[in-house]
């Protein structure tokens, strides 16, 4: 089993790959932090492990993969309980079709594979037992013990282990990018939600952690307005010129909507609502 702890481990491992297996099982203690690595792995499969990011064709593919717009990459992000029938139907159809590119390779990623029911897992198993040419499976799990042994035996297993400090810092950086993008683009942010929350919309606990982090960022920058020293990691330039009353209002919006996360409310709709309400506050701020 390959073990990866950071980007250098990842580069060392992938640089030694001469040919790709048809199926990989990524075991990790943080799906959220492992996911960017998995997408990089998908790029390596699709473009070749010696691809040049400066090549125009590869650059276009990489951009589309990063923005979940590439036809030869299919991502299934199951809800906490499981995935619905239509998602599986679409995935199975995807597995049976070929790329429109000449000799193009197709990749599917299943995020949180342990959440799939036994029946669904067995359907995936059939494709692992008799893989189609140029179709590659990247399965992600935080609990390998809940996965059928027959599936594990047909995959090459890679372990991603992140310590708590890395997990915290990466979540902080991601939420800082989200806030900055929201402040610059307002309602247009709704079209780019998956760039920041796509991996978390099936996990209320992780989603809740993100709103906690947004609260921390806003609170610490409010303290900065009052002349208090704050950690450099929490400094956010887009808040520097915003009146403190508006930041407080946005913090109130964050607190209020965070309280709804643990209720049975659609997280996509909640996030849309958050962006819309914050946008109204940002527009009001500009009109002052």
pTM tops 0.75, yes or no = no
CATH of 2-162, one of 3.40.50.300, 3.30.70.260, 2.40.50.140, 3.50.50.60: 3.40.50.300
The whole-chain average pLDDT of the chain stands at 81
> Smallest Cα–Cα separation from 107: which of 130, 73, 133, 71?
73
pLDDT tens, position by position, 135-193: 899 999 988 988 999 999 999 999 888 765 445 556 788 888 899 989 888 888 887 77
Q: Distance between CA atoms of 133 and 68, rounded to whole angstroms? A: 23
Q: Where are the domains of the chain?
A: 2-162, 165-287
Give pLDDT, residue 169.
Answer: 59
Query: Quick check: 27 pLDDT over 60?
Result: yes
């Amino acid at each position: 089993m390959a073990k990866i702890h950071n980007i250098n481990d990842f580069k060392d491992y992938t640089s030694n790959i001469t040919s790709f297996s048809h199926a990989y099982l990524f075991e990790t203690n943080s799906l959220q932090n492992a996911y960017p690595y998995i997408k990089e792995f998908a790029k390596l499969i699709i473009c070749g492990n010696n691809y040049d990011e400066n090549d125009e064709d590869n650059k276009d593919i990489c951009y589309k993969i990063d923005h979940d717009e590439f036809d030869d990459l299919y991502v299934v992000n199951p809800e906490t309980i499981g995935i619905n029938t239509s998602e599986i139907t679409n995935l199975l159809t995807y597995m049976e079709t070929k790329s429109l590119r000449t000799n193009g390779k197709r990749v599917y990623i299943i995020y949180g594979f342990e959440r799939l029911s036994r029946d669904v897992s067995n359907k995936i198993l059939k494709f692992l037992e008799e893989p189609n040419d140029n179709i590659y499976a990247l399965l992600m799990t935080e609990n390998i013990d809940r996965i059928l042994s027959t599936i594990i035996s047909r995959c090459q297993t890679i372990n991603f282990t992140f310590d708590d400090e890395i997990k915290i810092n990466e979540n902080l950086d991601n939420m800082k990018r989200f806030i900055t993008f929201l402040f610059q683009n307002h309602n247009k942010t709704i079209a780019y939600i998956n760039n920041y929350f796509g991996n978390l919309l099936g996990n209320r606990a992780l989603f809740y952690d993100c709103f906690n982090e947004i609260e921390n960022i806003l609170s610490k920058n409010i303290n900065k307005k009052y002349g208090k020293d704050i950690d450099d990691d929490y400094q956010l330039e887009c808040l520097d010129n915003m009146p403190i009353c508006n930041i407080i209002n946005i913090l109130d919006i964050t607190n209020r909507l965070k309280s709804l996360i643990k209720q049975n409310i659609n997280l996509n709709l909640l996030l849309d609502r958050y962006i819309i309400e914050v946008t109204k506050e940002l527009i009001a701020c500009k009109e002052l």
